[in-house]
Amino acid sequence: MTHPTENFASIEQMNRATREMAEAITHGSIPASARETASESVRRTREAYDVMSSSAKERASEVQRLMLGNQSHATAVISQITHNMTVQSNAAFDAWAAMAQARSLPEAAKVQADFVQDQLAMLAQQSQELFQLALRGLRESLKELDSSAHLR
């Protein structure tokens, strides 16, 4: 059970709030207690926003770092593919030129067989190089992602 003076205190608080509201309506002013509550609410909201904003900026920075790393790896893979296409095209042109100079069908067939054998070996090597390049990029991206996760 509450003590009679406690009820009196809460009644007194209600009366004070009612008087302030009546005065505010009469004079068109905002009660001091309402202004204080609003100011405190704004301050707390700003603090919460600052924390969330800071966290969002950190996450955005991490995503940007990861994306730039991925872009770098993608550029390296594309450069390697372009280089491989050039090497393969030049080998094909060389083989065609050699076949054009062949003096017999067996000689032309030998040039063609050697070209196919060389292309298969080259494709195996290039595939391995591309796989290693892509794997290295994936490992670095995962390491960066893991590093970012541990910083939180």
Tokens of 140: 């670095």
Tell me: the pLDDT tens digits for 73-132?
A: 888 888 888 899 999 999 999 999 998 898 988 898 899 999 999 999 998 899 889 888
Provide, rounded to the nearest whole percent, the portion of the chain with pLDDT above 70: 91
Pick the closest to residue 133 from 77, 82, 67 (CA basis).
77
- The number of C-alpha atoms within 13 Å of 111 and in the hemisphere containing its C-beta is 17
Mean pLDDT of the chain: 82
Provide the 8-state DSSP code for 3.
Answer: -
**Rounded Cα distance, 126 and 86, in Å:** 12
Confidence of residue 5 (pLDDT cuts 50, 70, 90): low
